[in-house]
Amino acid sequence: MSELYPLKFKTIFKEKLWGGQKIKTILGKDFGDLENCGETWELSGVSGNVSIVENGAFAGKSLTELVKEQRGSLVGEKIYEQFGYEFPLLIKYIDAAEDLSVQVHPNDELARARHNCAGKSEMWYIIQADDDASLINGFVKDTDKVEYLDYFQSGKIMELLHSENVKEGDVYYLPAGRVHTIGKGLFIAEIQQTSDITYRIYDFDRIDKEGNKRELHTELALDALDYSRPDQLRSEYLQIPNQINGIVSTPYFTTNKIISDKKIEINRSDLDCFKIYIGVGGSGSIAGETIQLGEVILIPAAMNSYQIEPDGKLELLETYIEL
């Protein structure tokens, strides 16, 4: 059996009604004959969209195949016990040339009951923002199902939603149940639970290529929504060079920011989990494998000690699960 090593995966490109060209212009990725690319799925265990290894001895194998073969050595013993063959996180880059729909994701309990899958809590890291770009994050006040439906049915739902302008480097954690929208002009890295369940609440009356409006999930959303005003909106964090700066710590994933302009020694011997590194600026290498903006590397759980080495300057998100 081949020894585990830092893994890269083939990009999965997704054309979207709201997608743009930044996957090509910012990341330098060719999405072929697609008119646009709204999302790239860089690391996915979602059924029907499972990532394929691109580098090294395991090239051509799917992520699911690799988990079945390597088990705890790849993902961590506790992670394997809890999630089995399904890889628990999904990593994306998202280009919103237009506003995404106003939407909500169910939590684990509701998603398992309705869809037999995990819920979807997620976080966004803003890589690039056009002037005056904004997003929607939660309600402007505590509300309830009755008041929400009144706003919705009277066509005033946007008045109930909190919107704010954003800039490069901003981070938002959106637990399942939080109403939200990625706004026009935002280019982000997203870390989320392995789930593709979205309830669309409002879609700005847009039509698709066939002239049809997209389906809304009004009734499904009612029991999924958290009607309270969020206590925390933007996640504040330090950006101290050459050390690990914590950003988000949740039951679903922990994420840190690393800004490196010199070699960093990483020791994760106390962590029984894979480590994912997401390129959000510059270039360099991790455990000898090159990485740059737009790339993702999966470090197996069995690899505890390695080096991060910048080529000038390297900016990374580091994410894993602490059980």
Give the pLDDT score at 211.
Answer: 86
Tell whether 260 and 160 lie within a shared domain: no
Query: Could you report the per-residue pLDDT of 284-307, keeping only the tens digit for each?
Result: 999 999 999 999 999 999 999 999
- Name the more confident of 209 and 56: 56
Assess if residue 6 is contained within a domain.
Answer: no
Residues 220 and 75 occupy one common structural domain = yes
Q: Nearest-CA neighbor of 179 among 231, 134, 226? A: 226
Residue 7 lies in a domain: no
- pLDDT tier, 177 (very low <50, low <70, confident <90, very high otherwise): very high
Examine the fold and report which residue of 174, 191, 224 is the final residue of a domain before the chain moves on: 224
The Cα 7–Cα 21 span in angstroms is: 27
- Mean pLDDT taken over the chain: 97
Domain count, the chain: 2
Instruction: Note whether 162 and 274 are same-domain residues.
Output: no
Residues 265 and 298 in one domain: yes
What pLDDT digit, counting tens, does each position of 51-71 carry?
A: 999 999 999 999 999 999 999
Domain boundary among 178, 193, 224: 224
Token couple for 128: 């690039």
Q: Based on the fold, state whether residues 274 and 314 are members of the same structural domain.
A: yes
> How much is the pLDDT for 209?
80
How many degrees, rounded to 5, is the angle at CA 27 between CA 191 and CA 172? Answer: 30
Indicate the pLDDT class of residue 276, thresholds 50, 70 and 90: very high
Catalytic sites, residue numbers? 200
Residue 284 resides in a domain: yes
Q: 89-96 and 122-129 as β-strands: parallel, antiparallel, unpaired?
A: unpaired
Reply yes or no on whether the pLDDT at 1 is more than 70: no
Residue 293 structural domain:
244-320
Does residue 215 form part of some domain? yes
Domain match, 214 and 298 both = no
Question: Is residue 114 domain-shared with residue 192, that is, in the same domain?
Answer: yes
Which has the minimum average pLDDT: 12-26, 99-113, 199-213, 240-254?
199-213
pLDDT band at 129 (very low <50, low <70, confident <90, very high): very high
How far is residue 100's CA from residue 69's CA, in Å, rounded to a whole number?
Answer: 38
**Are residues 255 and 204 both part of a single domain?**
no
Q: What per-residue confidence (pLDDT) applies to 207?
A: 86
| 249 in the same domain as 218 | no
Whether the per-residue pLDDT at 85 is higher than 80: the answer is: yes
For residue 7, give the nearest of 56, 64, 73, 65 by alpha carbon: 56
Please tell me the predicted confidence (pLDDT) of residue 41. Answer: 98
CB within 8 Å of 33: residues ≥ 6 apart: none
Instruction: Tell me the CATH number at 214.
Output: 2.60.120.10
